[in-house]
Structure 1
């Protein structure tokens, strides 16, 4: 019997793996239904770009820039020389988000779609699936290029350990992303299969940014015009949606609950899905709080910690309330973003009380100042450093289904909105030298906001950067925008503008901080090929 067991145990077939009971790509990626499952995994990873953990580290694309600084409880990038190192959490986070989630998941779909066992109804059906995966891969490499510079290009599924990666140049990375996005633009559908799914307009929008980064202004104008003139996307100019019966304006309506996915909202190009317990939404949980780490955490990060405010008598003046949640105040606007850019036109709709909260009122009935407006001088509030009292965008507000102490909403988050497409095309026109057409595009946004029009003679790239803050507060990854602008201007624009506009960080940022360093853990693990660190680190 021992001999029999020994001989049967030595058969090679015993070692053949046949994973039939779990999601192995050889089993799943054989038909459209299986590939759709993989696409869902890509969307989950895409959501993790901005909402993958619960800390201020998720907001390093904005904290420490010209427009946004640290709140009271956040040390992140307060001193670049101390914190921005090859071992900083955000330095690892976006690298690993890209190389452990987005890129391998994209590559799996792209590679398995061409295998003989994949059954497709038509070439078009296959290409539509591959296009969505290539969109995400190109989108990810565009982020890497504008955060780290040149990075390794990984275009296939790795089947074993690899320790000899090399860095491609930033130009090569952008060209690779361009090819992915051009394929995506050709094969993606014009309308989404479900809310949050990727469409042709999303690919053309990201292509516009890539063409700008490559210095091809004509192609950038062509790609952005394909979105603006597609007959389906238009700026919202009339009130709509879930809060239309309440005080507000059309700009505030864009960010209210359930309005991002409405068919009536022709401004949405791509919105990350958060609606609670719906397909594509969020239902995270832990043992003590079923929704503690789910949802859109913008309220927690960007809202002022008003509940810490004492009244002028030193007693509790503010209580946590449903409408404002429990913000921590990790991110606050610099004086430039909170005040200076609005001097252009203080009556700009985007600066209205429905869109920026500047006033707070004592809400503790036990306070002698109940319902009176908070006076930061009388209450002895340090408005620059406390993180308790500062103007903040009301884009973050929503129905707090997780409870008013969780600091979260379940409001969808715009990743691509038509307003930014206009901003990109205006930038392309200006870089080409057509100041009037650039002004015309900006005035489409300013007209919607009922703001004074800008004339062509006043237009500059600095003005476009100002307009991006006015329109895209909280939506724009400001760090990557400034890096992209800086490469095109052949100067360190991020450092220059941080020194000029950020009172907390401006004195301790240096030229080397233009780019993130390459993560040290990757350099150490890449044993068989040297990885050059970014200069200065």
Structure 2
């Protein structure tokens, strides 16, 4: 699966997003000359997934934006680029270089999915077989729009194949609620037609679509539907070949993730392989420790580091803390030193524990951990339990079933060590108390997995998270502005129909 994702030639289609609309599409092939078999359709769908495994999307720009926007991660190396500091410190404008990279890449992914969806009718094959493949494209489109709508709110929504840039040159924004309707429709199609299991978790299954439906419904506060979709996955875990992994560390070991049962969807990198931006992965180095010689692929860059309170507030008896954070490093001479001395061994490091989930076991990787062989898990079974728990608590405050779901994760976190920590959640909590417990459990279980900002946004926790007593105080946070990012300024210049920009930009 990995290799053809990376090497798929994206220019095989008339592939146009919402960026550079005045330029002419390149590499245009007439659809009827390409879409002849189901295998051709699969190749087109693979192009969408290939577009995710790029530096401008999951390899750095989108993921680093999500890390820095939340309250679990902060800037470490103060010499890093200004665009990253702007995202982290809530000072960004509509010319921010992070957004201007992942915005057009998002629409490129969507554009490829639209080509597959629009041309599936050209395939003369069994309907169920064709739909099982095109359902992957529906999922890819929904996945990408789900990130966009949460980050930007009202956005251009394109659900057709673009063959002429003029067709979208004057497109307007679609209201947020209508974008969600499109996402739900796509995921429902995917859930209907995708198989129960796939040969690779880099391809979505029926359970993947249901899990994302549960997440979407949770985001829009439709709690009964969120609970129903999550429990559909949970109640059919054998059918979908799902399980919580016994060792939490395995989820972040590039040499092991491909064979695991907990992932529901992964974005795969080959390892030491890239074609232009495709396969270019910098998540490991941007989170690794500057000056550390522990790993043969070299030191990290100390760009995104945990907020110090994250480490201080996390009980060391929780195995997830040891997996999630690196607290020591090694010099080239073999001296092991603690995080309180990181600055002594590198001018650009910072005296804080560092994120360990991606740098520690990057697998086959190049210099500094670039071009890792990580299979990045975008949704895993543990999150489905948390979605079910949160939704059930909103439907029935203090739900015993919700408590049981949280305790499944806490049991795993004890790793059979005999420790009583993290202690089981007890029945009898109020709705508010159980809600707080579940949200805190999400922060711990999913720490640094690019989820926290979305939780802060949907629950409107910004004033608390970034206030004086929060995990990462940020005096510039403004709740009237900062729950949305700015649409890229150049897009608004090219197409005034996208005006006005989001409030405050």
Is this a same-fold pair by TM over 0.5? yes
Give the deviation of 1:24 after TM superposition.
4.4
1:227–1:233 Cα contact (<8 Å) kept: no
Give the deviation of 1:336 after TM superposition.
3.3
Q: Secondary structure at the match of 1:415?
A: strand
Give the corresponding residue for 1:440: 404
TM-score by structure 2 length?
Answer: 0.82
Choose from 472, 487, 500 the match for 1:518.
487
Q: Secondary structure at the match of 1:396?
A: coil
Q: What CA distance in whole angstroms lies between the structure 1 residues aligned with 2:227 and 2:338?
A: 47
Give the deviation of 1:399 after TM superposition.
5.3
Q: Secondary structure at the match of 1:414?
A: strand
Q: What CA distance in whole angstroms lies between the structure 2 residues aligned with 1:172 and 1:31?
A: 33
Q: Secondary structure at the match of 2:265?
A: strand
Give the corresponding residue for 2:261: 266
Choose from 372, 381, 387 the match for 1:418.
381
Give the corresponding residue for 2:290: 305
2:393–2:434 Cα contact (<8 Å) kept: yes
Q: What CA distance in whole angstroms lies between the structure 2 residues aligned with 1:386 and 1:176?
A: 44
Give the corresponding residue for 1:66: 71
Name the count of aligned residue pairs.
Answer: 460
Between 1:216-225 and 1:229-238, the stretch displaced more is 229-238
Give the corresponding residue for 2:499: 531
Give the deviation of 1:177 after TM superposition.
0.6
Give the deviation of 1:501 after TM superposition.
5.9
* Superposition map of 1:470-489 within 5 A: 470-486=444-460
Give the corresponding residue for 1:138: 142
What CA deviation, in whole Å up to 9, does each residue of 1:98-118 have, x standing for no partner? 22x12211111111112xxx1
Q: Secondary structure at the match of 1:171?
A: helix
Give the deviation of 1:210 after TM superposition.
1.1
Q: Secondary structure at the match of 2:39?
A: helix
1:397 aligns with 2:360: yes
1:350 aligns with 2:320: yes
2:262–2:380 Cα contact (<8 Å) kept: yes
Choose from 106, 113, 118 the match for 2:120.
113
Give the corresponding residue for 1:252: 249
Q: What CA distance in whole angstroms lies between the structure 2 residues aligned with 1:324 and 1:339?
A: 29
Give the deviation of 1:84 after TM superposition.
1.1
Give the corresponding residue for 1:180: 186
Choose from 287, 298, 304 the match for 1:331.
304
Give the deviation of 1:298 after TM superposition.
2.4
For structure 2, the 5+ residue unaligned runs are: 1-26, 415-421
Between 1:390-399 and 1:215-224, the stretch displaced more is 390-399
Give the corresponding residue for 2:426: 455
Q: What CA distance in whole angstroms lies between the structure 1 residues aligned with 2:177 and 2:46?
A: 30
What CA deviation, in whole Å up to 9, does each residue of 1:19-63 have, x standing for no partner? xx9854331123212111101101101223875666x67501111
With over 3 angstroms needed to count, the CA separation of the structure-2 counterparts of 1:530 and 1:305, relative to structure 1, is closer
Q: What CA distance in whole angstroms lies between the structure 2 residues aligned with 1:221 and 1:393?
A: 32
What CA deviation, in whole Å up to 9, does each residue of 1:215-268 have, x standing for no partner? 221111111112112213443354xxxxxxxxxxx1112222332221xx2212
With over 3 angstroms needed to count, the CA separation of the structure-2 counterparts of 1:57 and 1:378, relative to structure 1, is closer
Q: What CA distance in whole angstroms lies between the structure 2 residues aligned with 1:236 and 1:174?
A: 29
Give the corresponding residue for 1:464: 438
TM-score by structure 1 length?
Answer: 0.78
For structure 1, the 5+ residue unaligned runs are: 1-20, 239-249, 277-281, 287-291, 308-319, 487-492
Give the corresponding residue for 2:335: 371
Between 1:374-383 and 1:512-521, the stretch displaced more is 374-383
Q: Secondary structure at the match of 2:423?
A: coil
1:151 aligns with 2:151: no
2:72–2:306 Cα contact (<8 Å) kept: yes
Q: What CA distance in whole angstroms lies between the structure 2 residues aligned with 1:296 and 1:49?
A: 6
Give the deviation of 1:164 after TM superposition.
2.5
How large is the Cα RMSD of the aligned pairs?
3.0
Give the deviation of 1:200 after TM superposition.
0.9
Give the corresponding residue for 1:200: 206
Q: What CA distance in whole angstroms lies between the structure 2 residues aligned with 1:68 and 1:97?
A: 24
With over 3 angstroms needed to count, the CA separation of the structure-2 counterparts of 1:372 and 1:304, relative to structure 1, is closer
Q: What CA distance in whole angstroms lies between the structure 2 residues aligned with 1:50 and 1:396?
A: 19
Choose from 64, 72, 88 the match for 2:96.
88
Q: What CA distance in whole angstroms lies between the structure 2 residues aligned with 1:351 and 1:168?
A: 41
Choose from 33, 41, 45 the match for 2:39.
33
With over 3 angstroms needed to count, the CA separation of the structure-2 counterparts of 1:194 and 1:66, relative to structure 1, is closer
Q: What CA distance in whole angstroms lies between the structure 2 residues aligned with 1:103 and 1:505?
A: 36
1:219 aligns with 2:262: no
Larger Rg: 1
1:103 aligns with 2:110: yes
With over 3 angstroms needed to count, the CA separation of the structure-2 counterparts of 1:298 and 1:381, relative to structure 1, is same
Q: What CA distance in whole angstroms lies between the structure 1 residues aligned with 2:59 and 2:251?
A: 26
Give the deviation of 1:460 after TM superposition.
4.0
Give the deviation of 1:410 after TM superposition.
1.4
